[in-house]
Structure 1
Amino acid sequence: MKNRRIFLQKAGLSALALNLTPLNPLWALNEENIMNVAEDKPLRVAIMGLGSYGTRVANAMKDCKRAKLVGVISGTPSKIEAWQKEYGIPAKNCYNYETYHQIKDNPDIDAVYVITPNGLHKEHAIGVANAGKHVICEKPMAVNAKEGKEMVDACHAARVKLLVGYRMHFEAKTQEVIKMRMNGDFGKVLFFQGLSGFVIGDPTQWRLNYELSGGGAMMDIGIYSINGARYMIGEEPIWVTAQETKNDPVKFKEGVDETIQFQFGFPGGAVASCLSTYSMNNLDKFFLNGTKGFAEMQPSTGYGPIEGRTNKGPLTNPHVTHQTTQMDEMAAIILDGKKPLVPVDGEEGLRDLVIIDAIYKAVKTGEKVGLV
């Protein structure tokens, strides 16, 4: 789209230079009109995985300006039928997990949002990429860094974009704090605290099944503190230490973590202290401290509204449904080549997976694990 826009702009300027009169007034496009043409084109999205979060994304997309829900992929026929009625999805854009590779022959779908269990992300994302469609994958991008790297490589080979569902990267109050840090309003950043947790319910759900989840709380809620430490401090950690607490080994079986405390060190000297848990409520808080000021957000990563304050006063940015903003911004990234304030690409997702691997290693060994 960007190249096409540049071509049209150059073509229009050349015509003006030669004082040529267009044969058809439709060709009389100035730069503003060309931009409007680009921005009018929606990103046509199919959602893979029609569970509770897939439903949340679909409902949020009703208010999108650049992204449009046009297809579904599910293993449950009744869900497909219900979504067809609710969202006006044509039968030709409906697939199951055996047939979704056929989207390769469907020009009406641009991208697929993979919202299946973590353990299926790699298979589904690579399948979508091989079908020639852009991939949006819910976080964590995979169950470990090895699988994440395979996903990044597959999408690169297929020449499609791989984006990860980091909705907080687009949230207004979060962006305000990041911009303040970038502008030096907090001075030298010294400390970050991230608390992420809730009491998980149904013990039979896939999130407590190691084969499908790849872990426990860390692979669900803990990633918010990992990712948050990185974008709030603005650096990549160079070491990690971690300790696990498990009070209910029946509910939280081998490989499924209940509670992990973890600490990071950063090259600029800042440290982070974080908690990830499936056994405590009221834990959704970020705190950033620097030599000149601070930022405190609570709730910091829930569906909103986010609340927060800094040394300069309360954060007052209006609340917009996170997934609505996320999908519109991702449409701009894919269609227009827009560069986000904080990356949401596969490399960003891979960095979190490398850190998660290191946290689990630190838990097992009891040692400080270096990150490169």
Structure 2
Amino acid sequence: MNSRRDFLQKITASAIAFTVFPHTGVAGKEATERPYDGPVLRVAIMGLGSYGTRVAEAMQSCKKAKLVGVISGTPSKIKDWQQKYNIPEKNCYNYENFDKIKDNPDIDAVYVITPNALHHPQVIRVAKAGKHVICEKPMALNAKEGQEMVGACKKANVKLLVGYRMHFEPHTLEVIRMRNAGEFGKILFFQGLCGFRIGDPTQWRLNRQLAGGGSLMDIGIYALNGARYMIGEDPVWVTAQETKTDHQKFKEGVDETIQFQLGFPGGAVASCLSTYSMNNLDKFFLNGEKGFAEMQPSTGYGPIKGRTNKGELKQPIVVHQTLQMEEMAGIILEGKQPVVPVDGEEGVRDLKVMDAIYEAAKSGKKIALKL
């Protein structure tokens, strides 16, 4: 096993078979018993790599969202997807001509699943074409880019959502419910550990021009975003330290390991670790005056497991991407409001904190935040 990703892919394959979460509309046995006849979000996926494939597979179980188009720079992938998912030729585009989706009434939204550095220009082009956008996280390389993307989508009167799949995950939402109900009392501390040993040194995630950084831009955003939704506040300061043991693999500007600390207005503090050099790191811990919540795995593709001071969490096991696309279809088509936001502004808040983490790691100073 070369990385946590390989392990998670194997787990998810088996998890898909028994996934069901009826009350949110995720397809399963319930879907065959009660045919859905409401509005359907017709989606084109941009970027047909491993995660794009995972999303496409998960969408086969959706009722409210349907894969209808593809955008890729690889003609052979387009042909394969056409055959596998019955995608018509008129809904297939490449990176040069996808602006033409403006004239295609059969596509409602584009899910951008490309390297981080491409998100900004591609999302803006999709918005100008008049289509709603779902963008993988991190939404951009920095907060300035993210804000420009939000502005472009507002100007075009289209929605911009970010691929925060954990914001819909049942165990996660149960912990948030318990916290909101005061069951943990005053929140004091959060710990987020996210990491794996990264493999191929030539992959885009280790290319600063494409990734915008290293582990923080890939896996660390889970701990950062998790600290915010688990504590239920936005941080007001950050400190950070970077550690690098392999300067050959992790070039200048590509972080191997970053530890960062966040301070929150209610007095809680968070201690987080993001790394590309250690496996077995996928854990959240939330501590309050009356109780605690521990999740491990906390953000992997599934199944999520957790416990609180009241016992084991026993929420339904779901395919995250299926549930995410169902709920995002509801947001776009029906104006649904999620418990935890997944809009562009949410993405910008994370980017502001990430900018500050890099600044703090470089300067050694505590950086004040105003989100």
Determine if the TM-score, normalized by the shorter chain, exceeds 0.5.
yes
Q: Where does residue 247 of structure 2 map in the other structure? A: 249
Q: Does 1:311 align with 2:309?
A: yes
Q: 1:128 matched to which residue of 2?
A: 126
Q: 2:65 maps to which residue?
A: 67
* 8 A Cα contact 2:36 2:63, kept in partner: no
Alignment of 1:41 onto 2:49: no
Larger RCO of the pair (alpha carbons < 8 Å, separation 6+): 2
CA-based RMSD of the aligned residues comes to 1.1
Give 2:257's aligned residue.
259
Where does the alignment leave 5 or more consecutive residues of structure 2 unmatched?
1-33
Q: CA deviation at 1:318?
A: 1.3
Distance 2:354 2:333 in 1: 31
Q: Deviations over 1:94-148 (max 9, x none)?
A: 0000110000000000000000000000010000000000000000000000100
Residue 369 of structure 1 aligns with an amino acid whose one-letter code is I
Matched, 1:88 2:86: yes
> Is the counterpart of residue 323 in structure 1 residue 310 in structure 2?
no
Do the aligned residues in 2 keep the contact of 1:38 with 1:336 (CA within 8 Å)? no
Judge conservation of contact 2:189–2:286 (CA < 8 Å) in 1. Answer: yes
1:212 corresponding residue in structure 2: 210
- Counterparts of 1:172 and 1:154 in 2: how far apart (Å)? 32
Structure 1 residue matching 2:314: 3-state secondary structure: coil
Q: Give how far 1:163 is off.
A: 0.0
Match for residue 195 of structure 2? 197
**Distance of 2:140 and 2:169 partners within structure 1:** 23
Total equivalences in the alignment:
337
- Residue aligned with 1:220, SS: helix
User: 1:37–1:101: structure 2 CA closer, same or farther, 3 Å change rule?
Assistant: farther
- Amino acid across the alignment from 2:218: D
Q: Report the equivalent of 2:106.
A: 108
Measured in 2, the distance between the counterparts of 1:258 and 1:159 equals 39
Q: In 2, are the aligned partners of 1:246 and 1:258 still within 8 Å (CA)?
A: yes
Q: 1:173 aligns with which of 168, 171, 174?
A: 171
Structure 2 residue aligned with 1:141: 139
Structure 1 counterpart of 2:293 = 295
* 1:289 to partner: Cα distance: 0.2
Task: Name the counterpart of 2:17.
Answer: none
SS in 1 for 2:60: helix
CA distance in 2, matches of 1:186, 1:237: 19
1:41 CA drift (Å):
1.4
- Equivalent residue, structure 2, for 1:274: 272
Q: CA deviation at 1:38?
A: 9.7
- The percent of aligned pairs where both chains have the same amino acid is 76
Contact 2:241 2:259 in 1 (8 A): yes
DSSP-derived class of the 1:350 partner:
helix
After superposition, give the CA deviation of every residue in 1:144-166 in whole Å (9 maximum; x if it has no partner). Answer: 00100000000000000000000
Cα-to-partner distance string for 1:32-83 (whole Å, 9 max, x where unaligned):
xxxx999611100000000000000000000001000000000000000000
Q: Which residue is 2:366 aligned to? A: 368
SS at match of 1:242: strand
Q: Deviations over 1:248-269 (max 9, x none)?
A: 0100000000000000000000
Cα deviation for residue 358 of structure 1 reads 0.1
Unmatched segments (≥5 aa) in structure 1: 1-35
Q: Distance in 1 between matches of 2:103 and 2:35?
A: 25
341, 346, 349: which one aligns with 2:347? 349
Residue in 1 aligned with 2:357? 359
- Distance (whole Å) between structure 2 residues aligned to residue 183 and residue 323 of structure 1: 28
Structure 1 residues 148 and 38: alpha-carbon distance in aligned structure 2, compared to 1, 3 A threshold = farther
> Structure 1 residues 316, 339: CA separation in 2 closer, same or farther (over 3 Å shift)?
same
